Amino acid sequence: MPNSDTQIASRICENLARARETIAAAAARSGRRAESVTLVGVTKYVEPSVARMLVESGLNTLGESRPQQLWQKAEALADLQVSWHLIGHLQRNKVKRTLPLVACIHSVDSLRLLQEISREAAAVHRTADVLLELNVSGDTSKTGLKPDEIEPLFPEISKQPSVRVLGLMTMAGLEGGADRARRDFAALRTLRDQLAPKCPASVVLNELSMGMSGDYEVAIEEGATIIRVGSALFEGIEV
Ligand SMILES: *Cc1c(COP(=O)(O)O)cnc(C)c1O
């Protein structure tokens, strides 16, 4: 196990280079350019000092699943140019503090949360970019809106002037491996294709945030534009 900071930094560099190659290959297989896939480096497993090494390796789009950890890391890395994504559950009482720190919230799973985000964004004269989190796997343990809940929300979403819905996010079902993941990701893409012609102006649905360390290749093949990768970037590091 590497232990000195130099060893950890070089391991992170290698992991990132390997992930970028894998992304490029998967994109090529689906007839897309590597640049059409945004890699979000998920830093929830590591200390801010290790997250810093990831940025210094050249990845400045980072994600955290817990708001408090995002606040803490954003503060620790405030001297760097980092685009932060919140990828996990957000309670309404944490919107105010989270919003100024993030480029995108992946995990909007209720109309009330979206309304709160719009209210807080309006208060600071900005527009918040969000994704709607879908539960396509049907796992009851997973958060997210059900596929048939999205379209009925469109009229209400279009009344929230300070939120822009850029796309959909999902996590694949826990069981069933790559086949299951592919089915869930394909379901998200199909849902997006069905909803796209019915969207109001503030809903675009260009982005599909799907794929993590174990299934991001499959996700890219199925049309992911954003992948959220944590453990693969920190492989071989004792944290
Ligand atoms: C932790 C997490 C990830 C990253 O998971 P890895 O398997 O470590 O790559 C992606 N998305 C969400 C929502 C997460 O909570």
Taking only the tens place, the pLDDT of each residue in 168-227 is 999 998 888 889 999 999 999 999 999 999 999 989 999 999 999 999 999 999 999 999
Dihedral sign for Cα 183, 89, 228, 150, please. positive
Distance 171 CA to ligand 1 centre (A): 9
Q: pLDDT band at 239, cuts 50/70/90?
A: low
Q: Which residues line ligand 1 (CB under 6 A)?
A: 42, 44, 65, 87-88, 171, 212-214, 228-232
Q: Which residue has the CA at smallest separation from atom 12 of ligand 1?
A: 87
State phi, psi for 121 to the nearest 5 degrees.
Answer: -65, -45
> 77 is written with which tokens?
């890395």
Distance 162 CA to ligand 1 centre (A): 28
Distance 214 CA to ligand 1 centre (A): 9
- How far apart CA 226 and CA 128 sit, in angstroms, is 17
| The residue to which tokens 């990828």 are assigned | 87
Distances (CA, A) of 229 to 59, 85, 120, 128: 12, 12, 29, 23
Cβ-contact 104, 117 below 8 angstroms: no
Distance 126 CA to ligand 1 centre (A): 28
DSSP 164: E
Distances (CA, A) of 62 to 112, 119, 182, 194: 26, 25, 24, 30
pTM score of the predicted model = 0.96
> For residue 1, what pLDDT is reported?
55
**DSSP assignment of 115-135:** HHHHHHHHHTT--EEEEEEE-
Taking only the tens place, the pLDDT of each residue in 145-170 is 999 999 999 999 999 999 999 999 99
- Residue 124 burial (CB count, 10 A): 11
Domains and CATH numbers, the chain: 5-233 (3.20.20.10)
Q: At what angle do helices 67-76 and 48-56 cross, to 10 degrees?
A: 60
- Residue 211 burial (CB count, 10 A): 29
